[in-house]
């Protein structure tokens, strides 16, 4: 029965439309994008386990770390076994993570929540995140940035669906919980456990729909009208192949790793303290006071910017090139951070616009990097290379909050500060983006000694040594 998951059972026929692949990828990414909606029930977990936000926040950190590690370790397996098997395995890990976390809540064992949502769920996150990437690139060699942007947009937008869904489920299972005021109302632990079980069933069904729909192209398939040699004059685009093992021996891999790390670290600098930051910027001296409800709306706007940036900027990279789009992400991002730090408190419109631009670059950086890797290393094991690169996300998920929280802890408690208290942290992010900017400028084509041999370059058997 499980043979239906094998790669050779998923080869598309001549009548299959490649436009069915983005919805299959979206089904997976919208599901695992729920990881960005943990704020909905974090207060309930704090009260249920009688602990602090730090211990509850570790759940999210463990999940992100496991995302990077599992993507790195399983990347080659995903490429070898195909997207259907990978999506199915991701569905099992992701949904079982919710089930184990629910058991942890019901038994008041926090370590089970770490194991479930953090470890098992994190493995599902990593495998699910990379499972459609190389398939999308192979189906859309003419528009790889747009294709990966469509899928990874779902990860950024997952919270837009998961947040209201989670709130409604909590209100359903705990009538005393006010879904319209999640900050001022706390759901019971039993409601959180039932919500986890419900989400497990919903996401398992949605991800298995993606697994059933996905196909891989036949070996010699190319889209109508596409000529790979048209890209020969683009210096960073190669038609050669580099294996995952060889990729980490190239300076290009580590330069792109640095670029992604810096871009993500700087984006998390805004996301980590988004709601209290906008309230603190306009607490004193301005004519505008930002309420808690308005701050929550600001966080929702950033989610939209995150999601939109993943598609718009990644699709734009197909036109202007991957290296140039990262020049924009990092260069314009530096300028936006400087203006935000020095003049962000002048107007809420200025503050919101700058923050939205920064977060759109954060999302765009995630969505564009698979196409950047395809340009440099080819399609041979691009999914595995992408998986290894996502360790930069894990590192940034730790470094970003540590950096900004260290600065803010020295100033006081977020939510009771002034705009000037954020200046050192924001200007530090400018320096981090500058490092990524320089790393991106240093990217050059991969040397041919790292390329996999082709039929033309492989020595005849009698001449091998």
pLDDT tens digit sequence for 292-315: 677 777 878 888 899 999 999 999
Q: Name the residue with tokens 């320089």.
A: 438
- Using the structure block, give the residue that is written with the tokens 């408190």: 345
Give CA separation, 375 vs 82, 368, 384, 388, in Å.
21, 11, 15, 16
Domain span including residue 131: 1-8+17-219
DSSP designation for 256:
H
Q: Which residue has the tokens 């935000």?
A: 340
- Residue 463, in any domain of the structure: no
Evaluate the CA torsion angle 16, 19, 20, 21 in order and state its sign: positive
Q: Is residue 457 assigned to a domain?
A: no
Do 323 and 200 have their domain in common? no
Question: For the chain, what is the mean pLDDT?
Answer: 88
The Cα–Cα gap between 265 and 427 comes to 13
**Across residues 441-449, what is the average pLDDT?**
94
pLDDT at 234: 67
- The tokens for 309 are 């940036």
Residues 297 and 335 in one domain: yes
pLDDT value at residue 461: 39
- Residue 465 placed within a domain: no
Are 247 and 196 in a shared domain?
A: no
Inside any domain, residue 42: yes
Q: Is residue 458 part of a domain?
A: no
pTM for the complete prediction? 0.86
Residue 137 lies in a domain: yes
Query: How much is the pLDDT for 38?
Result: 83
List, for residues 28-86, the tens digit of each pLDDT value: 999 999 988 887 888 899 899 998 877 888 888 899 889 989 999 998 999 889 999 99
Residue 406: pLDDT band with limits 50, 70, 90: confident
Whether residues 181 and 245 fall in one domain: no
Confidence class for position 459, pLDDT limits 50, 70, 90:
very low
Instruction: Judge if 194 and 278 occupy the same domain.
Output: no
pLDDT given for residue 5 in this prediction: 87
**Do 90 and 205 reside in the same domain of the chain?**
yes
Chain centre distance of CA 399: 16
Contact 363, 309 (CB under 8 A): yes
Please list, in sequence order, all residues whose beta carbon lies within 8 angstroms of the beta carbon of residue 64, skipping any fewer than 6 positions away.
Answer: 35, 122, 125, 393, 394, 397
> Does residue 328 share a domain with residue 392?
yes
| Token couple for 440 | 């991106």
> In what helix (H) or strand (E) does residue 336 lie, and over which residues does it extend?
helix 322-343
The answer to whether residues 214 and 240 belong to one domain is no
Neighbours of 433 (CB within 10 A): 28
Same domain, 259 and 317: yes
Is the same domain home to 28 and 88? yes
Taking alpha carbons only, the member of 390, 55, 451 closest to residue 242 is: 451
> In angstroms, rounded to a whole number, what is the distance separating the alpha carbons of residues 93 and 99?
10
User: Among residues 163, 197, 219, which one ends one of the domains?
Assistant: 219
Which residue shows structure tokens 């974090």? 42
The Cα–Cα gap between 130 and 85 comes to: 12
- Please tell me whether residues 283 and 150 are part of one structural domain: no
Residues composing the chain: 465
- Residue 465 has what pLDDT? 34
Of 284 and 39, the one with more pLDDT: 39
Residues 127 and 235 occupy one common structural domain = no
Number of H helices, E strands in the chain: 18, 0
Confirm whether 456 is domain-assigned: no
Tally of domains within the chain = 2
Beta-sheet strands, E only, within 29-120: none
- Write down which residue in 181, 197, 219 finishes a domain: 219
Distance CA 372, CA 440 (A): 11
| Residue 198 C-alpha from the chain's centroid | 24
Q: Last residue of a domain, which of 185, 219, 253? A: 219
User: Three-state SS for 170?
Assistant: helix
Render pLDDT for 350-363 as a digit per residue (tens, 0 to 9).
999 999 999 999 99
Which CATH number characterizes residue 84's domain? 1.20.1250.20
Cα–Cα distance, 220 to 218 (Å, whole number): 6
pLDDT (tens digit, 9 = 90+) per residue, 329-386? 999 999 999 999 999 888 889 999 999 999 999 999 999 999 999 999 998 899 899 9
Of 68-77, 170-179, 280-289, 417-426, the poorest mean pLDDT is in: 280-289
pLDDT in tens, 164-184: 898 899 999 999 988 766 566
């Amino acid at each position: 029965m499980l043979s239906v998951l094998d790669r050779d059972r998923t080869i598309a026929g001549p009548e299959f439309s490649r436009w069915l692949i983005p919805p299959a990828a979206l089904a997976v990414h919208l599901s695992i994008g729920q990881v960005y909606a943990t704020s909905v029930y974090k207060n309930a977990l704090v009260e249920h386990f009688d602990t602090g936000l730090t211990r509850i926040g570790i759940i999210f950190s463990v999940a992100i770390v496991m995302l990077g590690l599992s993507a790195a370790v399983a990347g080659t397996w995903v490429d070898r076994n195909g997207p259907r098997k990978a999506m199915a395995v991701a569905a099992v890990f992701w949904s079982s993570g919710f089930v184990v976390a629910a058991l942890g809540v019901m038994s008041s064992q926090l370590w089970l929540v770490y194991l479930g949502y953090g470890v098992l769920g994190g493995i599902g996150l990593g495998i699910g995140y990379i499972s459609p990437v190389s398939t999308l690139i192979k189906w859309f060699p003419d528009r790889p940035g747009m294709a990966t942007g469509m899928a990874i947009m779902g990860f950024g937008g997952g919270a837009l669906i998961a947040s209201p869904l989670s709130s409604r489920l909590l209100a359903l299972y705990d009538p005393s919980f006010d879904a319209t005021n999640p900050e001022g109302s706390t759901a019971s632990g039993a409601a959180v456990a039932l919500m986890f079980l419900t989400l497990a069933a919903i996401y398992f069904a949605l991800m298995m729909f993606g697994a059933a729909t996905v196909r891989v192209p036949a070996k010699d398939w190319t889209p109508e009208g596409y000529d790979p040699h048209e890209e020969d004059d683009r210096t960073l685009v190669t038609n050669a192949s580099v294996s995952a093992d060889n990729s980490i021996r190239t300076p290009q891999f580590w330069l792109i790793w640095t670029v992604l790390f810096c871009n993500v670290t700087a984006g998390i600098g805004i996301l980590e303290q988004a709601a209290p930051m906008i309230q603190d910027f306009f607490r004193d001296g301005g004519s505008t006071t930002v309420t808690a409800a308005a701050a929550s709306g600001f966080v929702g706007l950033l989610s939209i910017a995150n999601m939109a940036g993943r598609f718009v900027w990644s699709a734009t990279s197909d036109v202007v090139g991957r290296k140039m789009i990262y020049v924009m992400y990092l260069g314009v991002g530096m300028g936006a951070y400087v203006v935000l730090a020095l003049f962000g408190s002048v107007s809420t419109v200025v503050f919101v616009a700058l923050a939205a631009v920064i977060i759109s670059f954060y999302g765009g950086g995630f969505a564009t990097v698979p196409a950047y890797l395809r340009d440099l290393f080819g399609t041979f094991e691009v999914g595995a290379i992408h998986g290894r690169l996502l360790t930069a996300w894990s590192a940034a998920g730790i470094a970003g909050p540590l950096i900004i929280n260290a600065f803010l802890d020295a100033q006081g408690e977020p939510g009771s500060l002034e705009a000037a208290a954020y200046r050192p942290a924001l200007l530090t992010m400018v320096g981090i983006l500058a490092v990524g900017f320089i790393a991106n400028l240093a990217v050059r084509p991969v040397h041919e000694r790292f390329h996999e041999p082709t039929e033309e370059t492989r020595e005849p058997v009698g001449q091998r040594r």
